[in-house]
Amino acid sequence: MSLISRRHVLTTATGAAVAGLLGGSEMISVAAPKRTSPAMIGHRAPPIEEVRIGLIGLGNRGKGAIRRLMLIPGAKITAISDLDPTRLRQSERTISAWGNFPKIYFGGENAWKAMMQQDLDLVYICTPWDLHAAMALEAMKNGKHAAVEVPLATTMDDLWALIDMSEKTRRHCMLLENVCYMRTEMAVRRMCDAGLLGELSHGEAAYIHDLRAKKFSNHYHDGWRLKQSISRNGNLYPTHGLGPISQYMGIFRNDMMIKINSMSSEQRGLTEYAIRKFGKDSAEAKQTYALGDVNTSVIETAKGRTIMLQHKTSQPTPYSRLNQISGTKGIFAGYPNRIALEPDPDKWASETMLDGLLKEYGDPLWKTHGKKAQEIGGHGGADALMDMRLIENLRNGEKLDISVYESALWSAMGPLSEYSVSKDGATVEIPDFSRGAIKL
Ligand SMILES: NC(=O)c1ccc[n+]([C@@H]2O[C@H](COP(=O)([O-])OP(=O)(O)OC[C@H]3O[C@@H](n4cnc5c(N)ncnc54)[C@H](O)[C@@H]3O)[C@@H](O)[C@H]2O)c1
């Protein structure tokens, strides 16, 4: 698979200025295509009284999205598409039970394209990763906003194409990064903004989730997630951990991510699991898997701060996103949640103190929307809060919480880490997806 096209890998910089920055090592630059339309910073689209939604992909995630969106005032699912007729019928029944009769798009890999001709305001995409970009591009091209499950896309070309299309059509393209709406993450962000942890210098983010059983089952449509592990080596799922850390650090507000180095350990986990489960002569055991068991990247920001970003889905492990952020006055760490602050920096604060701080810094959105969000549910209400905000912002003609630039930046750690891994951990430049429109 081409991760970064020739067009976008321009130079290996060894000039004096770059060498100074990197201590003499090389940095691979990834060029930004030229902007042809105004940036989408703070963009407000015309308000929409009732948001008509077309949802593509009715699997694990799509089914939950339907249930949530049906309960949000001002949202109306008027079209659905999937390859699987049973899933379509089930979702149709669920939606119809609420007196709403969506149009069904079915009959092959490209049946969803016909949906783009229907009068819709928003296309909500819950399909496998490789399909996200094509679907979101087509949605915006046909005048609809796009909300896309994580990650936004898997190649740099696609990420740039999505930004270009959003800027050209003035349609929103938002990554559905639900972790940014979690109660704890939102409170920690406010602690960071208030300076509780002092000057921030380092964050740790991850997606650590033992997916071996799911990858080798029919949990995912046509084994799409195992196929990703067969063909790609890097951080395949960066956004859940990175989104909140990026927000804590004020990326795109007062700092930028500028470069990444990434390395993967050898692949052992999937093969061993396959031998145990299917036997050593099975096709699964003989298959070659590109994805190293543990991928670790280090991102550096323009202000000289660092983020350690990990991906581990092929080994036995308790779930974690690390969610750690540290500064000159203290540290917050997740899994389990802990905080240590001056003047007692060498011990974790009591649970009572942590609970008090999380309450004190709680995001007002949890006060105004929290009760309903929890009733609707999904990751403790974070999924519902994300959807409620999306619908509310579209109805009010407001800017969306997560810009197309953040959506692309967080997702880009997929292809950029792959590229770095393929070059033996080389330093790869992280482009400014706003192409200079965001001034620090
Ligand atoms: N934010 C979260 O917490 C979270 C959790 C789980 C999954 N996800 C994301 O949601 C997305 C879907 O994951 P999933 O676990 O639901 O996968 P899944 O395999 O359960 O569902 C994918 C669905 O897409 C359908 N599909 C595939 N090709 C299609 C096509 N050409 N046209 C129409 N439908 C098509 C499949 O039939 C299937 O029903 C992924 O991007 C994943 O990363 C996010």
Task: Render pLDDT for 125-171 as a digit per residue (tens, 0 to 9).
Answer: 999 999 999 999 999 999 999 999 999 999 999 999 999 999 999 99
Structure tokens at 210: 């033992």
What pLDDT score was predicted for residue 4? 53
- Ligand 1 mean position to 60 CA, how many Å? 7
Ligand 1 in reach of 56 Cβ (< 6 A) = yes
Pocket test residue of 55, 66, 82 for ligand 1, highest count of atoms within 8 A of CB = 82
Does the C-beta of 421 come closer than 6 Å to ligand 1? no
Residue with tokens 């489960």: 277
Q: Let me know: does 169 contact 140? Beta carbons within 8 Å.
A: yes
Residue closest via CA to ligand 1's atom 4 equals 61
**Mutation probe of ligand 1 site: the residue of 177, 216, 221, 235 with most atoms within 8 A of C-beta:** 221
Residues β-bridged to residue 311: 207, 295
- Could you give the CA distance from residue 26 to residue 315 in angstroms, rounded to a whole number? 33
**Residues 244-262, mean pLDDT to the nearest whole number:** 98
Inform me whether the pLDDT recorded for 305 exceeds 80: yes
pLDDT tens string 194-252: 999 999 999 999 999 999 999 999 999 999 999 999 999 999 999 999 999 999 999 99
Q: Hey, what are 109's tokens?
A: 């890999």
Comparing 19 with 150, which gets the higher pLDDT? 150
Contact 88 CB / ligand 1 (< 6 Å)? no
- Residue 356 near residue 349 (C-beta atoms within 8 A): no
Whether the CB of 147 sits within 6 Å of ligand 1: no
Cβ of 364: how many Cβ atoms within 10 Å?
A: 10
Other C-beta atoms lying within 10 Å of the C-beta of residue 88: 18
Q: Average pLDDT of the chain?
A: 94
Give the lowest-confidence range in 10-19, 78-87, 104-113, 153-162. Answer: 10-19
For strands 306-312 and 200-208, give the pairing.
Answer: parallel
Q: For 48-77, what is each residue's pLDDT tens digit?
A: 999 999 999 999 999 999 999 999 999 999
The structure tokens 């703070």 sit at 42
Q: Does the pLDDT of residue 16 top 80, yes or no? A: no
For residue 326, pLDDT beyond 90: yes
pLDDT class of 31 with cuts at 50, 70, 90: confident
Q: Is residue 395 within 8 Å of residue 48, measured between CB atoms?
A: yes
Q: Residue range 376-396: average pLDDT?
A: 98
